[in-house]
Chains A and B, each alone.
Chain A
Amino acid sequence: MAEGYFRLRIRYAKTGRLALLSHLELTRALERLVRRSGLPSVVTQGFSAHMRHAPGPALPVGTCGLAELFDVWLTEYVPAPVARIALQEVAPPGLEVRDVSYVDPKARGLAATHVVETYVLVVALSSELRETVRAGVARLLETGELSVKRKNKLKTYDLKTAIIQAPEFMPVPGEPGLYEVTMTLRSGEQGSIRPEVLLRAAAEGGEGGEGSELDLRSITRLTLSEDAS
């Protein structure tokens, strides 16, 4: 990338129905949002000219995100508050531009730097199951690793690295049986462990295996940040 470009980092929330977008659909929607905003985005030259951008780490279909990231390169400096308003004015419902800031154009990619993710899951648990899950989490932490089978491939996660903050359970006020489960995870070279996968494994007693079905009401990535360690 040539010198003299500006890298604008957009922090946004995708909530509600937009949780059902795939990563590709969301990326295309963000590109279109940037084009509508009229911000002077950099167009790559080559066989297929396209906007120079870099989406943050993907979220699976069905997961909301409150602090997602998307980098776009601009040919001219536009004051961040002006850029933010330009984007906010043309954002579709459910996609809210929270803030924008400039970052070093040469900084490493978002997937490499923003590896710390905090999630909150809303899940219905009987008191018995809640205790099973709690005990399962403790056992998993003790074991220190978890093998997950996905698409016929077995992936083993080092939980000591992957779990920064173990799942905490908070009852949802006024909703008996519903819990907010918050956890902070770190993605590594083997990818990131999905919070619901961890919770399902815990519900099985932390023994691994296919994972049991849980009555999950929602999954939200609350924050996405750089690794301080």
Chain B
Amino acid sequence: MSDVSLWDRLEPLLPTVERPSRYIDHEYNARHVDFSSDCSTAPEPVYRAALLYPDTYEIGQANQAIAILYDAIWRLEDCVAERVFLPWIDLAQLMREQGIPLFSLESCSSVAGFDFLGITLSHELAATNVLEALDLAGIPLHADERKGLTPLIVGGGPVAYNPEPIAAFFDAFVIGEGEEVISELIAVHRRCIEEGLSRSELFVQLAHIPGVYVPSLYAPDETGALLPLGQGIPSRISKRIVGNLDSWPIITDVIVPYAEVSHDRLTVEVLRGCARGCRFCQAGMTGRPVRERRVDTIVSAVSEGLACTGFDEVSLTSLSTTDHSRIEELLRRLNGVLEGTSVGISLPSQRLDAFGIDMAHLVAGQRRAGLTFAPEAGTQRLRDSINKNVSDGDVLDAVTRAFEAGWRRCKLYFMLGLPSERDEDVLGIVELANRAYAAAKEAVADDQRSKVRMSVSVSVFVPKAQTPFQWEGQPTLEEIERRVTLLRSARLHKGIDLHWHDPAASRIEAALARAGRDGSTLIEAAFRSGATFDAWSERFDATAWERAAVLAGKDLAEMAERNFEVNEPLPWGHISAGLDARWLARERARALAGETTADCSFADCSACGVCDATGASNDLAGERRG
């Protein structure tokens, strides 16, 4: 174990790279073993965990998973947690030239010297960045090439719901929410180190922790289904969740960054889970059941968090904040607490109806930066099919109410390539946007009409594991491009800006989202072909992935467009988000029949199975409105 500071070698490089403040640590609320020693002579703690967000500091610093696990690990006895981000390409190049390995922020020490390396995996395109991190750290990329018990490399986050394409690079994964399981995992790891067990013995011990998946203990049978290799290894790994979210402390002494980061504000998670049941949405499907924090809990966390950090904005986060059963009471109380201060409240997601706008209005103060609405699809038929229970009338009402209330900018978000999409649905996007634009113009006074701004943002549907659309392939690239052309040629009002996401990047995402273990050869080949920071549009290099596919003997189109049979074993079949496979199949059938399913947080249960699987249930702070 080594925690020798690399700072003296790093410091001379920093004035020459972009935005050096992201590498300096020393932010308010960052935790250190012994600050007075400037980290170089700190006493060696018993267990050191590094938490990596596989992107730059600006993207990862505000990540909630890292913040929660950082806090949870520091609460454990004799444990420290440190943050790790990827250096931008300018510094990475200098580090390679000078032999400086990937370093943690707090002690500025080599990541390879830690006991534990936790990697949060927010999206599929982070895969090559994981390899970049391991490579910079001097850690062998493949789990089976690594020796010893440290660092133990564990992944978690949304991508772990289909871990197979990156399984070769990880020792273990945590499925579901990590705050409880992290302490169990570290306890087992520490005991195995103390007892001098072998790596394979450690893996068996880890596999016994509920929610922990150790890929090396599973192998495919003749049908391709992954089966456990030993006695007592679970055949199915079910997600972990925090049943009583309200009793879990909200972290208020969060790190206050110097560099300007995305989500540069206090974040208070007001609820977890979403039962609206949008059939494409992995976060909604895997986050069930709904667990709301109580208003008192949230209000005191906001006050305490602002006092501890000095932020001037607080974001009330969740998948659907305005669905909180006591949202109005919460916002009114927060307005009272924050009156006379310069602190603003932001709601990251707008409910697409007049109530949602009323709530946004309640906290907007003088700020009217812009609202984002996500109708997702252009016609009622397709919205019913994806279970987005929103009508044209809801969209137009919401837009009208927003522009009447003083907003002058709004963004409409749609998806292209959803299962069963037809040309009329594509043209429906344009039609709905034009009507929304007309409604916005109508809602404002004559002298304000020239200020109305609307944009339409279109991304390409990416089928995800653990959703009712997990069996569906993405349309071909040519077909997606034809639909983009159709969209562009339709008569969108000239006052509306149209943006669309690069279909080539979405295809890589789709190829990886449902790939099996053999997907790792593609990822490694892409990394060797120079692909990193694939989620950065200016860095995404489709040709690197095309080259990689040739090298790895893979067909990107086939991977992305593959339709699975409902009875066929799925690469992620041994991983459970608690959803009954029959329910998922039923939801798929209902999608094809254009039938909607109600939200069980205010209507009937649809028997998705998650309450039985997790032993938890919807935990609401009051009665929800539909």
A and B found bound together? yes
Can you name the residue of chain A whose Cβ is closest to the Cβ of B25? A17
* A17 contacts across to B, CB distance below 8 A: 11, 24-26
Contact indicator A21/B26 (Cβ below 8 Å): no
Contact indicator A93/B26 (Cβ below 8 Å): yes
**C-alpha spacing A36/B252, complex, angstroms:** 13
* A122 contacts across to B, CB distance below 8 A: none
**C-alpha spacing A115/B310, complex, angstroms:** 30
Contact indicator B35/A93 (Cβ below 8 Å): yes
* A50 contacts across to B, CB distance below 8 A: 312, 342
Within 8 A of A (CB), among B1-44: 11, 14-15, 20-21, 24-28, 35, 38
Contact indicator A32/B28 (Cβ below 8 Å): yes
* A94 contacts across to B, CB distance below 8 A: 26
Known contacts being A20-B21, A47-B366, is A29 close to B341, with CB within 8 Å? Answer: no
* A62 contacts across to B, CB distance below 8 A: 15
Can you name the residue of chain B whose Cβ is closest to the Cβ of A92? B28
A51's contact among B25, B256, B342, by CB below 8 Å, is which?
B342
B21's contact among A25, A43, A46, by CB below 8 Å, is which?
A25
* A229 contacts across to B, CB distance below 8 A: none
Q: Which of B78-86, B236-244, B301-309, B465-473 lies at the binding interface?
A: B301-309
Q: Mark A37-72, 1 if CB is under 8 A from B, else 0.
A: 010000110111111000000000110000000000
* A149 contacts across to B, CB distance below 8 A: none
**C-alpha spacing A50/B343, complex, angstroms:** 8
Contact indicator B310/A18 (Cβ below 8 Å): no
Q: Mark B295-322, 1 if CB is under 8 A from A, else 0.
A: 0000000000011111110000000000
Q: How far is the CB of B290 from chain A (nearest CB, A)?
A: 33
**A22 in the interface (beta carbon within 8 A):** yes
- The number of A-B residue pairs with CB atoms under 8 Å apart is 79
**C-alpha spacing A32/B203, complex, angstroms:** 45
Q: Mark B249-261, 1 if CB is under 8 A from A, else 0.
A: 0000000101110
**A33 in the interface (beta carbon within 8 A):** yes
Can you name the residue of chain B whose Cβ is closest to the Cβ of A29? B258
**B367 in the interface (beta carbon within 8 A):** yes
Q: How far is the CB of B16 from chain A (nearest CB, A)?
A: 10
Contact indicator B310/A36 (Cβ below 8 Å): yes
**B232 in the interface (beta carbon within 8 A):** no
Can you name the residue of chain A whose Cβ is closest to the Cβ of B14? A20
Contact indicator A46/B366 (Cβ below 8 Å): yes
Q: How far is the CB of A13 from chain B (nearest CB, A)?
A: 14
Can you name the residue of chain B whose Cβ is closest to the Cβ of A216? B15
**C-alpha spacing A62/B341, complex, angstroms:** 33
**B365 in the interface (beta carbon within 8 A):** yes
Contact indicator A32/B367 (Cβ below 8 Å): no
Contact indicator B28/A20 (Cβ below 8 Å): no
**C-alpha spacing A93/B366, complex, angstroms:** 35
Chain A interface size range: 20 to 34
B26's contact among A36, A90, A92, by CB below 8 Å, is which?
A92
**C-alpha spacing A18/B14, complex, angstroms:** 12
**C-alpha spacing A43/B340, complex, angstroms:** 7
Can you name the residue of chain A whose Cβ is closest to the Cβ of B310? A32
* B340 contacts across to A, CB distance below 8 A: 43
Q: How far is the CB of B466 from chain A (nearest CB, A)?
A: 40
Known contacts being A34-B310, A43-B342, A61-B15, is A18 close to B366, with CB within 8 Å? Answer: no
**A35 in the interface (beta carbon within 8 A):** yes
**C-alpha spacing A35/B341, complex, angstroms:** 10
Within 8 A of B (CB), among A89-118: 90, 92-94
A48's contact among B11, B308, B367, by CB below 8 Å, is which?
B367
**A180 in the interface (beta carbon within 8 A):** no
Q: How far is the CB of B278 from chain A (nearest CB, A)?
A: 34
Contact indicator B258/A49 (Cβ below 8 Å): no
Contact indicator A32/B26 (Cβ below 8 Å): no
Contact indicator A49/B309 (Cβ below 8 Å): no
Contact indicator B309/A36 (Cβ below 8 Å): yes
* B367 contacts across to A, CB distance below 8 A: 47-48
**C-alpha spacing A34/B311, complex, angstroms:** 10
**C-alpha spacing A26/B20, complex, angstroms:** 13
**C-alpha spacing A51/B35, complex, angstroms:** 31
Q: Mark A188-227, 1 if CB is under 8 A from B, else 0.
A: 0000000000000000000000000000000000000000
* B365 contacts across to A, CB distance below 8 A: 49
Within 8 A of A (CB), among B420-477: none
Known contacts being A35-B312, A38-B307, is A43 close to B258, with CB within 8 Å? Answer: no
**C-alpha spacing A50/B366, complex, angstroms:** 12
* B35 contacts across to A, CB distance below 8 A: 93
* B256 contacts across to A, CB distance below 8 A: 29, 32, 92
Contact indicator A49/B26 (Cβ below 8 Å): no
Given contacts A17-B24, A26-B258, A43-B341, 10 further A-B contacts (CB under 8 A): A17-B11, A21-B21, A25-B259, A32-B256, A32-B312, A35-B310, A36-B307, A36-B310, A46-B366, A47-B367
Which B residues fall within an 8 A CB radius of A? 11, 14-15, 20-21, 24-28, 35, 38, 256, 258-260, 306-312, 340-342, 344, 365-367
**Cross-chain pairs A/B with CB under 8 angstroms, 13 sampled:** A20-B20, A25-B258, A28-B258, A29-B28, A32-B309, A36-B307, A36-B308, A43-B340, A46-B366, A47-B366, A49-B344, A49-B366, A50-B342
Q: What are the 3 A-B residue pairs with the smallest beta carbon separation, nearest first?
A: A32-B310, A35-B310, A36-B310
